[in-house]
Amino acid sequence: MALVSINPATGERLAEVELWPDEKLEAALAEVAQATSSWATSDLAARCRLLRQAADVLLESRDELALMITQEMGKLYREALAEVEKCALVCNYYADYGPSFLADEVIESSAGKSFVAHQPLGTVLAVMPWNFPLWQVFRFAAPALMAGNTGVLKHASNVPQCAQAIEVVFVRAGFPQGVFKTLMISASQVAGVIEDARVHAVTLTGSEYAGRQVAACAGANLKKTVLELGGSDAFIVLEDADLDAAVAAGVSSRFLNAGQSCVAAKRFIVVEAIADEFMAKFRAAVEALEVGDPMKEETTLAPMARVDLRDELHLQVQTSLSQGAVAVTGCAPVSGAGAYYLPSILDRVEPGMVAYHDELFGPVAIVIRAKDEADAVRIANDSPYGLGGSIWSRDESRGEQVARQIDTGAVFVNEFVKSDPRLPFGGVKNSGYGRELSRHGMMEFVNAKTIWVK
């Protein structure tokens, strides 16, 4: 069996990578285990230097890595360039702040001396998705490696070239052999890796179903997990919002990466007083998007990552229409080669419809009309997911007060949700648990060890 790389824009078969047999997986885990203890006690300054060198390698290889991302999962080339640059940013961030995050925390007690030491757990298995094939990995790897953990990666099956390229970055940066390893394995082999005593923790970004499977296996083996799962982010537009700013941000958020982002604006909850005006502006902006070759500068909407994902999205749209949603624009695949779907808006979405309750992972915006602010908050929280959300109001104080009422891991006021190395990122409810990025993300995979000295 092989992992197959297919260009979503053309359907062209790019590469095949053979899946590892069990003996090759065993050799890789043995190599990582051999590196784990020495890396855990390595000099912090050396780790910082290596992370900065990884950032340099990323920037030096920016063009070729971005091309690989675009060809393998379809995103706009300029978005792929930005993704590579963000990976370099997170490496430099932890090189700059990692030592202070890991410093002993002195706590006054009845002891002569008492403090908390932050020590690595060991080897962290990362099960990662295809939608941001480099960023998702580096946002786990930079803090985990800085903290003294080793890492093993099981990447999505449709981005095998990106998976291999990530390990090459760390090798070229000079990291010791075995500190980071990409495992070219199938989903059926993941449970065995989690169960392996040489693996000490697991982080997963992916579907709710995958999260439940990984959490169950890790729990049975008493291993720490961090899960970043699906999201159906609310984008609340209040009657005093700057509609032009809200529309521009809403289009960027919903259609970035062809709508294939966990924290994309998915549910546009618009108060009735300005709903028609918002919809007129929003429709015009969405219909102005240019579907096409992701390598071309004029293209503003790329293909989806796979044809089967596009077909699943279309089924959700068709079902919602049959349940009474209104097709404002788009709502159909693009004929011809590639996994293209028209930029789409579903209006008048209500409870009981697929689009109201499920995550739509693609270039489809759903609009839910609210009576007022209180109703908008109610609708926003009427979701099994709790990853992110945004509030639009000219009154910043009002926006902040509404933000405090939304049950999610992040809420942005007058800006769309985005990840930032300086801020913790993660969700609640069915969007998972734990945090990535910032000091909080690094602390997920360290042992906060109390040391008491008489």
CATH at 440: 3.40.605.10
- Is the residue at 24 inside a domain? yes
- Number of domains within the chain: 2
pLDDT at 356: 98
The Cα 295–Cα 9 span in angstroms is 10
With H, G, I as helix, E, B as strand and everything else as coil, classify residue 392. Answer: strand
The Cα 403–Cα 75 span in angstroms is 31
pLDDT at 175: 98
69 with 145, same domain: the answer is: yes
The Cα 16–Cα 415 span in angstroms is 41
Cα-Cα-Cα-Cα torsion 86, 89, 94, 95, nearest 10 degrees, comes to 150
For residue 54, what are the contacts with CB-CB under 8 A and spacing of at least 6? 88, 91, 142, 169, 170, 173, 175
The set of catalytic residues is: 228, 262
- Is the residue at 182 inside a domain? yes
446 with 394, same domain: the answer is: no
The Cα 142–Cα 319 span in angstroms is 42
Q: Which residues pair with 124 in a beta bridge?
A: 151, 201
- Is the residue at 382 inside a domain? yes
The Cα 301–Cα 264 span in angstroms is 14
155 with 304, same domain: the answer is: no
Tell me the whole-structure pTM to 2 decimals.
0.97
Q: DSSP state, 12?
A: -
pLDDT at 1: 82
Instruction: Give the mean pLDDT per block of 10 residues along the chain (454 residues).
Output: 95 97 97 98 98 99 98 98 98 98 97 98 98 98 98 98 98 98 97 98 97 98 97 98 98 98 97 98 98 98 98 98 98 97 98 98 98 98 98 98 98 97 98 98 98 97
438 with 405, same domain: the answer is: no
With H, G, I as helix, E, B as strand and everything else as coil, classify residue 174. Answer: coil
- For 136, the token pair is 């998702």
pLDDT at 106: 98
pLDDT at 117: 98
- Is the residue at 425 inside a domain? no
Task: Identify the domain containing residue 345 by its residue range.
Answer: 233-420
Q: Alpha helices of 102-189 — where are they, by DSSP H?
A: 135-146, 160-173
197 with 215, same domain: the answer is: yes
